[in-house]
Structure 1
Amino acid sequence: MMSRLRSSGRWARGLIALTATAASTLAAITAVAGPAAATGHPKPATAADQPKLGGACTVADLGVRHPYIKTTEVSPEITHFKGWYVTQGTTGYQSVTTSTQTTISVSVGLNGNVQGSFAVETLGTVGASLGLNVQVNYSSTSSESNTVTWNFSRPGYYGVYKGTKKVTGTYGSLNCNRIQQGDGGWALKWIEGPGSGSFTTYTTLEEGAVRCEDTVPANSIMAKAKGLLDCGSPAARAERPAGAVAPTAKQMQDRLAQHPAPARGTAAEQPKATGRSPQAAPNCQPAVYRIDVPGKPLNWSAPLLANDGIRLRESNFFSAHLDNWRLCNVTENNGVIEASLWNWGNGGCATIPANIANQEQAYLTTATCGEDDLQRFYIYRDVPGSSKIGLQNKYTGSMMGHDRYADGELIRQYASGRQDGTGTYTLTGI
């Protein structure tokens, strides 16, 4: 007879139900307000309404990115286990201290943990697509011994366990960019942008006890625990005193095989050397631009002080070319421009400071130009005839934007971009 399962309350807390409540969760992650709403930018209501590769997007999406899930794998994992023998007369409730079998940590992309809205949205999309309750914030199963209290109703050799379903896979980045249609016209579409990686998360932790005689569902957490019992071994068939049973050879072998490393991104999101190698002069295009807020007088202005950031300012006689930018070392791949942004006023290149590059809302500044992916930006463009763009840092994968429209407001990075359209700028030639 199959033993009864229960969920551990300690681990159930903090897990977000993404099945029946997928609509509200994903809508909250990608909620649209302000200017974007005025332009008809849709608010996703369900997982099915999430942006799709090749689907239409708007100018408000030029500064936004979303994840899309490429592959997923769900496998039962035992996090804690102990062989336990119950004799006639020792049935009933007993507390069993289990040993750690493996530790599972939630991670997304290059940092091996969960930082920023893009990572949370990635895991939310995974849960919604699979119909599972998965952890969407950084967490890990316990690496310490855990106690399971269980009612043993009959004598036998038991595996006492805690376990979960480990969910792993890969994701890509959806970005909005102009695409030429078959008739020669242009349209804004969600494309596969640069940056992909892998993820790991897990479902609600369960605990229970299973005997060799029990019939269990295939590919279940309980079946995984029963497999660890090594029921065909002499140790499993031996009579013994009640209590703990020494691990079998199979249990030890399986435990040693469990050495999970944090999920890492693919080459596009792997950490790269960020030490700057100064170069005499970047190869800049002759055109000079302002990076404006569309329809507004404020635009990107480089700092005069080394410890300051790029801010929104109004151009005037005293701007001293700090609001003038050139595109340097330009390449283009599948319609997406990659370039460094050189400032005419201070001679530096736009960059995310290396010491805060892993932080959501890290500010943009300038530094001595060099071979550094922190100084490289992908530029997503509106259809020809429009100068509206979105900008993405190559190293961090985050989109550039500002928190509010105000003089002196810093330009910052946002993992998923600004959902209200404030990550869309205008590249205005001067």
Structure 2
Amino acid sequence: MRPLRPSRPRTWQAGILASAALTATALLAAPAHADPQPPASSSCNPAVDTVYYDVTAQVTPVVTDFLAVNITSGTTGQRTESLTQVDSVSTTVNQSQQISASFGGLFARVKMKVGFSVSTSTSSTTSTTVTNTWSFNQPGYYGLYRGTRRVDGQYVKYVCAQTGSTTGIWVNAVKGGVGTYTTYENPEIGTVVRNCVPEPAGTVRRVAQDRLGMC
């Protein structure tokens, strides 16, 4: 059974710029690794360069609401059921759930990284409950679910600090150098059935099916 889917930067003082230049140079000299990376060059043009983001991203399928139902030959047809919350995902930046519009660039970079749309504002899967009408055409042991793909990672944010009319240097604007975030894809609602044909690995449907046990 297939799923039912319901400013330009300000001018910095010379002393601050000198310190920032040393920080940027040290970061740029670091070896390449899996962490989020600074810009390829420490210099920038404040007339065209404003903010630079880089991110890491780990995608994890999560079932947030679930209900197992056993449909016998005499109980096929439509049923209205409410799902039980079994997990939750919230959008956070640096472990805070208060997300301002200033992080729009961060989530745009995350979307580019993972290849699908993600939540860009303060939100949580606990904000709504799931009550739906389901149609069963044949007997079986079914899992009714709502779930999403959670995205966790780290990020760096650099701003172009102006040193002249068309010159500047990238300055790390994240306290501590690296930040963290969590977000998630628009949730899906669907059904899976326990049988000997597993759903594709790495999908929400597979996580839901695993809750039903082996065939």
Q: How would you bin the TM-score normalised by the shorter chain?
A: 0.7 to 0.9
Q: Show structure 2 runs of 5+ residues with no match.
A: 9-37
Alpha carbons 1:73, 1:167 under 8 Å: kept = yes
Do residues 174 (structure 1) and 158 (structure 2) align?
yes
1:108 and 1:61, CA in 2 relative to 1: closer, same or farther beyond 3 A? Answer: farther
Alpha carbons 1:170, 1:197 under 8 Å: kept = yes
1:61 CA displacement:
7.1
Task: Tell me how large the CA RMSD over aligned residues is.
Answer: 2.8
- In structure 2, the residue corresponding to 1:7 is in which secondary structure? coil
- In structure 2, the residue corresponding to 1:226 is in which secondary structure? helix
Q: Summarize deviations over 1:140-171 as a string: whole Å, max 9, x none.
A: 11356421322212111111101111111111
Do residues 72 (structure 1) and 52 (structure 2) align?
no
Take 2:144 and 2:120, find their aligned partners in 1: how far apart are those partners? 28
Aligned residues: 180
Q: In structure 2, what is the equivalent of residue 58 of structure 1? A: 45
Do residues 101 (structure 1) and 86 (structure 2) align?
yes
Q: Show structure 1 runs of 5+ residues with no match.
A: 9-29, 33-51, 180-186, 233-430
Q: In structure 2, what is the equivalent of residue 160 of structure 1? A: 144
- In structure 1, the residue corresponding to 2:157 is in which secondary structure? strand
Alpha carbons 1:100, 1:143 under 8 Å: kept = no
1:73 CA displacement:
0.6
Q: In structure 2, what is the equivalent of residue 222 of structure 1? A: 205
- In structure 1, the residue corresponding to 2:75 is in which secondary structure? coil
Q: In structure 1, what is the equivalent of residue 123 of structure 2? A: 139
Q: Percent same amino acid among aligned pairs?
A: 28
Alpha carbons 2:3, 2:192 under 8 Å: kept = no
Q: Which amino acid aligns with 1:148?
A: N
- TM-score normalized with structure 2 length: 0.73
1:115 and 1:144, CA in 2 relative to 1: closer, same or farther beyond 3 A? Answer: closer
Any runs of at least 4 consecutive aligned residues in structure 1 with deviations exceeding 6 A, and if so which? none
Alpha carbons 2:146, 2:187 under 8 Å: kept = yes
1:6 CA displacement:
3.1
Q: In structure 2, what is the equivalent of residue 7 of structure 1? A: 5
Take 2:168 and 2:116, find their aligned partners in 1: how far apart are those partners? 33
Q: Which amino acid aligns with 1:200?
A: T
- TM-score normalized with structure 1 length: 0.38
Q: Summarize deviations over 1:215-237 as a string: whole Å, max 9, x none.
A: 311111100001111236xxxxx
Q: In structure 1, what is the equivalent of residue 71 of structure 2? A: 86
Q: Summarize deviations over 1:182-239 as a string: whole Å, max 9, x none.
A: xxxxx7443544433111111121111111114311111100001111236xxxxxxx
Alpha carbons 1:68, 1:174 under 8 Å: kept = no
Of 197, 202, 205, the residue aligned with 2:184 is 202
- In structure 2, the residue corresponding to 1:125 is in which secondary structure? helix
Q: Which amino acid aligns with 1:86?
A: I
1:379-390 map, 5 Å: none
- In structure 2, the residue corresponding to 1:142 is in which secondary structure? helix
1:89 and 1:4, CA in 2 relative to 1: closer, same or farther beyond 3 A? Answer: same
Do residues 124 (structure 1) and 80 (structure 2) align?
no
Alpha carbons 1:61, 1:176 under 8 Å: kept = no
